[in-house]
Amino acid sequence: MSKNTSIQNQIVFITGASSGIGAACANIFASSGAKLILAARRRDRLEELAAKLGKEFNNEMHLLQMDVRDREQVESAISSLPPSWSDVDVLINNAGLSRGLDKLHEGSIQDWEEMIDTNIKGLLYMTRHIVPGMVSRGRGHVVNLGSIAGHQTYPGGNVYCGSKAAVRAITEGLKQDLLGTPVRVTSVDPGLVETEFSNVRFHGDSDRANKVYQGLTPLTPEDIADVVFFCVTRPAHVNISEILLVPTDQATATLVHRRS
């Protein structure tokens, strides 16, 4: 029988670790003895999380206050990692956001740029700087957070859906380009997960954000982290390329069952 990949003492780099799915990934990997590089813009949130995980699991952590949209910041953060942190085994490209739900012809160009710069360009910068080391060391796994929005476009979703369709294509391309190396590539594509996502989408309008999940049981960040962990811990010869997961109360990007 093939051996599952052990995560003990592996270096796991998680972007967008200050909230939601990224924070839940940090928790599950910490509980299995991984060494974590936790990155996001909100350093206070990273510190809070690291204090909690350190107390619970006593694992090693390295915090990076970083904006994935800033190419120079990404380059310098990665190139100046201390030697004991530079050999990243698992990269979880999770940092991402949606902004607005406007019709395309009425949309905010600033919102579009924020989504494209974070969800596509940020993921590319991270990948470009981390994957060469994985190839030369002959080990590694990249997990990208896609979305159901990369499979189906919904009204008002236009640019967000486009950015996640790009993540899907980029994940597929990366897998093709890494063929012949042991580096694995996975896209985890959730439907509705209750996090700060909708609050960010609606620029802090929490009433509108709460309505997204009203009357249904959404996925939790921990549900997604479980799936990411499952993919990463499969035996080395198993590459899970794509997983689409939705709440039982969701059938498509627009078809959901609400009890009230």
Secondary structure letter of residue 6 according to DSSP: P
Minimum CB distance to ligand NDP smaller for 139 or for 209? 209
160 assigned to active site: yes
187 binds ligand NDP, rule: CB under 6 A: no
Amino acid at 181: T
> Per CB under 6 A, does 183 bind ligand 8X3?
no
Which of the residues 64 through 123 are near ligand NDP (CB under 6 A)? 66-69, 94-97, 118, 122
Residue 147 within binding range of ligand NDP, rule CB under 6 A: yes
Q: Give which of ligand NDP, ligand 8X3, none residue 34 binds (C-beta under 5 to 8 Å, depending on kind).
A: none
The site partner of 95 among ligand 8X3, ligand NDP, none (C-beta below 5 to 8 Å per kind) is ligand NDP
Contact between 40 and ligand NDP (CB under 6 A)? yes
Give the DSSP per-residue string, 49-77: HHHHHHHHH---EEEEE--TT-HHHHHHH
The alpha-helical segments, DSSP class H, found in the chain are: 20-31, 43-57, 71-79, 109-115, 123-137, 158-177, 197-201, 206-213, 221-232
Pick from ligand 8X3, ligand NDP, none: which does 94 bind, CB < 5 to 8 A by kind? ligand NDP
Q: Tokens 């993921």 correspond to what residue?
A: 123
Number of alpha carbons in the 13 Å side-chain half-sphere of residue 103: 2
Please, what is the minimum distance in Å from the beta carbon of residue 249 to ligand NDP? Answer: 13
* Alpha carbon distance 121, 83 (integer Å): 26
Q: Taking CB under 6 A as the criterion, which residues in 145-164 touch ligand 8X3?
A: 147-149, 157
Please, which residue, 89 or 194, has the CB nearer to ligand 8X3?
194
The item of ligand NDP, ligand 8X3, none sharing an interface with residue 12, based on CB under 5 to 8 Å by kind, is: none
Rounded to 5°, the CA angle 87-92-98 comes to 145
196 touching ligand NDP, by CB under 6 A: yes
